[in-house]
Amino acid sequence: MTENPDLTAPPSDLSVPVAIEEEMRSSYLAYAMSVIVSRALPDVRDGLKPVHRRILYAMRESGFTADKPYRKSARAVGDVMGKYHPHGDSSIYDAMVRMAQSWSMRVKLIDGQGNFGSVDGDSPAAMRYTEARLAKAASFLLDDIDRDTVDFQPNYDESEQEPTVLPASFPNLLVNGATGIAVGMATNIPTHNPGEVIDATLAMIANPDITLEEVMEIMPGPDFPTGGTILGRSGIRSAFATGRGSVLVRAKAEIEEVRKDRRAIIITEIPYQVNKATLQEKIAELVRDKNSDRHIEGIADIRDESDRSGMRVVIELKRDATPEVVLNQLYRFTQLQTSFGVNMLALNGGQPKLMGLMEVLSAFIAFREEVILRRARFDLGKARDRGHILVGLVIAVANIDEVIRIIRAAPDAATAREELMAAQWDAAEVAPLLALIHDEGNVVVDGKVRLTEAQARGILELRLQRLTGLEREKIQNELNEVAQKINELLEIIGSRPRRMEVMRDELLAARAEVATPRMTDIADYAGDQDDESLIEPGLMVVTITRDGFIKRTPLEVFRAQNRGGRGRTAAGRRGDDVVVRSFNAHTHQWVLFFSSGGKAYREKVWRLPEASPTAKGRALVNLLPDLGSDEITAVLPLPQDEELWDSLHLVFATASGGVRRNRLSDFQNIRSSGLIAMKLDEGDRLIGVATCREGQDVFLATRKARCIRFQITDDTLRVFAGRGSTGVRGIRLAEGDQVVSLCVLNHVEATVEERTLYLRAANAKRRAENAADEADAEEVGVEAEEVVLEEGSALTPERFAELEAAEEILLTVSDGGFGRRSSAYDYRVSGRGGQGISNMTLSGSKRGSAVVATLPVLAGTDVMLVTDAGRLIRVPVDQVRVMSRQASGVTLLRLNETEAVTSVFPVLEDDSSDEEEAGPDGESGGDES
């Protein structure tokens, strides 16, 4: 047992102190470069990683070629592991298996027999059960490897020599692609159609200045062995130009009717590198998980009917499902549509380099030219050696008697060889031959020539049968053939166009063997798949509550109900929460949200949370996370046809009296985090936004019972070009006053006299109608026109009817709980920026000290009043009399001494409801709601 070393002793002469940081750095870099160069990245020249190259070379050396019988895979793996690849047999066998899989390789390099796995991800059988040999296409990578076309290097134990690269005769890197993860870098090169790749190479050979666009006309994009469809060309263009790009690949699917009233989606091709079995499991999982945001509805059954004739996955649908929507959901949420990230990183000159298509083709052409040049030089040397021997044979045949004499006189072969080399032979017959084959081995002096050692050996090995006349003629013919071959090789070596011609011929020969029809289609595609295609089109009822909850409910949930039905709950409420806004919209319709802080948000209706009629929905602050403490002051559903947006404008109003008009199209692109819609001064807030058209009127009401109405024209309120301004003054406010309401009214051209006469007549008509409501309507047989129109009035019945049809009614409510309705004709149109006119008479605290809101109301609707004490009352607007705009109104809500009304809004409910069982006369027995 050895003693422990003395760690405090000085180092010996053989030890060198090294900083641990430096040692770790150098060791890691050495490891990283080893992985990059010797394991993970393919070579741009033959498109192979070292393990694939060693497998192909070892199988060739062992004679497992395409014209020989299959041999056990274990034999090939053993040869590779024992001679060239110092790693485990599993990694070698996995690489070998992949080269034999038709769904992994565009052109198979290994011809396998047995179970080599499946597209479902099944593992191949053990190597002792499978058999393999080189495929025919592999010969185009290995041909001429023994003719000094490539460099060789010692294997891991220096007992064998292995090629550093294979003399590939077609661009295998592009044809079969590559995938690999190195240290700090990775490669992901897609497969391409072999015929197109070779045609593109030929085009570059013919025109070295060819552009990428011209090459892409020949080679439009990747061609995956599993087929599918590539969406769009922008990703391909980026990948070919820079080496990086994203290619969107989609499965091929058809919609078939499998039986009566039942349709199914038939998947016949899937994206590259997608596991079919895992894909089916994912689809089933999304169908089962009903709580997931990616839940797919409408699928009744999934089955795999694939066989030897091809792939066929049947996704049977329910009767009420829309096949196109289900298919789009499958594309969105499963690997039926994937993105192939192209990263064309390969070794070029031993260095990893990101290359575009043109660089890869140029590198291959340069490499192939070098192979042809080296092969020509090798063949030239062999041809010259053979020609040199043939010259010696010609000399021997011409001087056969002297040759025989020297041989018979020599005691042994060595002496005979020396005597033949020492003799001088007549050069008259061989001098032209020496020039013909460019032989520099024989030197002619004074018409005489001496034999070289190689020629002397060839003469001694000459069989007597070659001395016959026929054999002498064969020697001369062979010499002529060698001379012709030498001249051709010299031409190839000396002429680049000739080398390009040879390369073209060899590429055409490879194309005839490996070219196949394109398997992957390329379809024009505008951009990423729109989520709208995943949603069933239809109408929705969108409701928003006072406390900021929003939801959408399919309109068909609210079915028509007979008169007198009980109705149904339109929204679930928490405490005293009530619906403040409700509108019908299409699922693919945009909705704009405006906050009190001046920000705009935009969402499609289908993005709003869907809920049942009794659910409360989702908080807007969660839907619009950047809303913060602001409140939504306006919600505007926009026209589904975006071409109409240019004809619509938005009018903004702030609490300080500012207004601004913008085109609706200015809010066409809004980020998910919102967009500044209007710049506000410190302490100001946005109180309303409304859509408007040229010629309509803006109506502003203030807290201190002032209001103003002005027409929307370029002179009064121009269209602002940007969103960053504060706008212009809409109304001049008194100290302490602020705007509380904004609405847009229709502009009606009427003189002051017409408006005055109409208001007088309309009020008289309403009084008559009220009297008719209080008495029996049949006993009040008075025509309205007879009541309201005085004889000789300037207002004709026709003009009265015209003004009545265009009349709008405004409801004004004070914080004291009083309110009244007024005709919009009672508010004259003036210029923008004035102090306005009186909107309501506020006479003390009993009737209120401030106006809460002024809003247009329709007959037959209700409004909701909310107090600061949390009390609510729902009031039918028909119970509120139409009075003069200066009237104080009637009591809408009786308040406590310290209580005040804080908000007023229309109660918006859908007319449609669940159908009730009706009685014999068509009426139901419930109360109206």
Phi, psi of 229 (to 5 degrees): -130, 130
CB proximity list for 756: less than 8 A, separation 6 or greater: none
Rounded to an integer, what distance in angstroms lies between the CA atom of residue 763 and that of residue 423? 145
Rounded to an integer, what distance in angstroms lies between the CA atom of residue 771 and that of residue 760? 17
Rounded to an integer, what distance in angstroms lies between the CA atom of residue 632 and that of residue 687? 9
Token pair listed for 762: 């309309």
Cβ proximity of 709 and 745 under 8 Å: yes
Rounded to an integer, what distance in angstroms lies between the CA atom of residue 316 and that of residue 284? 12
Pairing of strands 131-134, 71-72: antiparallel
**How far from each other are the two terminal CA atoms of the chain, in whole angstroms?**
101
Rounded to an integer, what distance in angstroms lies between the CA atom of residue 186 and that of residue 184? 7
Distance (Å) of CA 555 to CA 96, 194, 580, 887, 910: 60, 55, 18, 41, 9
Cα torsion 418, 420, 425, 429: sign: negative
305 burial class (0-12, 13-18, 19+ CB within 10 angstroms)? exposed
Distance (Å) of CA 341 to CA 190, 215, 620: 9, 21, 37
Rounded to an integer, what distance in angstroms lies between the CA atom of residue 728 and that of residue 83? 86
User: For the chain, how many residues are written?
Assistant: 929
Rounded to an integer, what distance in angstroms lies between the CA atom of residue 511 and that of residue 196? 9
Other residues' Cβ atoms within 10 Å of the Cβ of residue 522: 17
Cβ proximity of 531 and 332 under 8 Å: yes
Other residues' Cβ atoms within 10 Å of the Cβ of residue 317: 21
224: left (phi over 0), alpha (psi -120 to 50) or beta: beta
DSSP per-residue letters across 535-576 = S---EEEEEEETTSEEEEEEGGGS----TT-----SS--STT
Cβ proximity of 81 and 89 under 8 Å: yes
Concerning whether 31 is annotated as a catalytic residue, the answer is: no
Rounded to an integer, what distance in angstroms lies between the CA atom of residue 530 and that of residue 642? 16
594 burial class (0-12, 13-18, 19+ CB within 10 angstroms)? buried
Alpha helical stretches, state H, 427-575: 431-436, 453-460, 469-494, 496-514
Residue where the block lists tokens 């040397």: 381
What's the CA angle centered on 802, arms 801 and 807, to 5 degrees? 95
Helix, strand, coil % over all residues of the chain, rounded to 5: 35, 25, 45
Other residues' Cβ atoms within 10 Å of the Cβ of residue 795: 20
Q: Is 813 helix (H, G, I), strand (E, B) or coil?
A: strand
Crossing angle of helices 234-242 and 357-398, in 10° steps, is 50
- Closest by CA to 515, choosing from 112, 102, 137, is 137
Distance (Å) of CA 782 to CA 137, 713, 789, 801, 802: 102, 43, 12, 17, 21
Active-site residue among 28, 57, 70, 129?
Answer: 129
Token pair listed for 522: 């390329």
The set of catalytic residues is 129
